[in-house]
Structure 1
């Protein structure tokens, strides 16, 4: 039986330069998608998958991120005094138990692989998850939960996979598929940001991973790869020729790239329309916006 996955790494050390000037004063992960920060979506997904220990790889200027998960006695007192029990209940989901959350500093921006490697001492010899908060996935069953259930059958390492147009494959890590097994695919290779026309498939790696602890040892030996960074996909690819298989998992759900402005706006509309309290008003506004250019023609 494979060991349960109870630890997750959240690489959140990036500067968020694509969202300047907003990210001059607040971490990108605190930016709100409707009324919840991006990081809250990632935490909720991790909790649903059975994660108990949350490891954040941060950098200078991320104090607001740490404060977000702390209790707020003054705010809670005021809400309680005013009888706003629904808001108090909402706040509960933002609090972390003492000892459940840890922060590790990444002092130099050397890539995703290096960020994961920074947390190695807290992982020890256990399988672990990696969640990239920029990738927000709307799904009936949370993406990481789907993967954990599949991992219980396969072991090894597993990455979330999504089909992408051929012209966009060079922006992703891409899987070289050995065999299709329903939602799972066994992998014989991984290529980080392949040159145009050289991608081995159209299955791209998305920001959810379940990794064997040996991947951390692989990272320890790696030198910089694509883009001059230490690539996590290179360390995972080293596992392919061992008895610890690597799988891609075609998850059910819609992924939004909230690391880009367009993706963030698309997610805002989609998540707003999914809310009972916002759907009617937002739908009416969008219909009016679409109708205005047509009326002017």
Structure 2
């Protein structure tokens, strides 16, 4: 069986309740950081890691995501007519060259584990990655072609051991994340360690470490069976963390320490922070925004 990771599953069917009212009519994945929607950053990350098949697990209300990656002949014709060549190039590069965007519906909101399981008919008996679209891996603090998802993919293809990206968080925040118990808690960036257990949202007194799962996974096809046998738990949903804990009973799994940092864009503060940081580093906006911020006296 091939260990090559050729596909990524991106679950986009969620309601985005933490970002209401903005997400009442707009998918949270289409909210923009600077000038690109979150989903585009995530697709670009997958393409940079060498993964070309993008499977969107979507919902009837999320057509704008599919439209974003489709060709807009009218828009392109207008940009061509107005000789806006740089904008035309940007629009045409929204979908990375050679990337295939495939959509499948999640009929019922039964949790992340269920959303991933919806992609099984497309992925088949092959390994795959999972990227959560509201987690942005900071492109300014790591190399998307070698680090994080790319590094996890490389490690999996060498070992056939499922990989989970982790990042240190404050002890008071562990209750908001899935947390891993690892053999080596003193992990350096880009290092990996065997996972002994995965715990969904433990209290800070029960957490085995402060290494939080960070929305990136590279998984062996054996996870399908684990997902099928996982019972609903928190919020009566099928949790991916529970499925991975079940899988861990029969095969090894590794934690991969993030290079750089992530941004949780699924909550308002994290989304604003990502926008400010990315804007300050944007060549055409950074110095103007910095000058503006220095005039504020709040």
Count the aligned residue pairs: 290
Instruction: Tell me if structure 2 keeps the 8 A contact 1:155–1:245.
Output: no
TM-score by length of structure 1 reads 0.92
- Structure 1 position 251, deviation (Å): 1.5
Instruction: Tell me if structure 2 keeps the 8 A contact 1:193–1:226.
Output: no
Worse-superposed segment, 257-266 or 177-186: 177-186
Q: Secondary structure at the match of 1:219?
A: helix
Worse-superposed segment, 180-189 or 208-217: 180-189
* Cα distance change on mapping 1:253 and 1:96 into 2, 3 Å: closer
Which of 287, 290, 296 does residue 283 from structure 1 map onto? 290
Structure 1: gaps of 5 or more residues = none
Which of 141, 144, 147 does residue 143 from structure 2 map onto? 141
Matches of 1:271 and 1:146, distance apart in 2: 23
Q: Secondary structure at the match of 1:24?
A: coil
Residue 197 (structure 2) aligns with: 189
Residue 42 (structure 2) aligns with: 42
Residue 120 (structure 2) aligns with: 120
User: CA RMSD of the aligned region, Å?
Assistant: 1.8
Structure 2: gaps of 5 or more residues = none
Worse-superposed segment, 19-28 or 275-284: 19-28
Instruction: Tell me if structure 1 keeps the 8 A contact 2:54–2:99.
Output: no
Q: C-alpha offsets along residues 75-108 of structure 1, whole Å, 9 cap, x if unaligned?
A: 1011111221111111122247899222111121
Residue 110 (structure 1) aligns with: 110
* Cα distance change on mapping 1:77 and 1:126 into 2, 3 Å: same
Matches of 2:230 and 2:249, distance apart in 1: 16
Residue 236 (structure 2) aligns with: 228
- Structure 1 position 186, deviation (Å): 0.8
TM-score by length of structure 2 reads 0.92
* Cα distance change on mapping 1:80 and 1:205 into 2, 3 Å: same
Q: Does 1:157 align with 2:165?
A: no
Q: Secondary structure at the match of 2:183?
A: strand
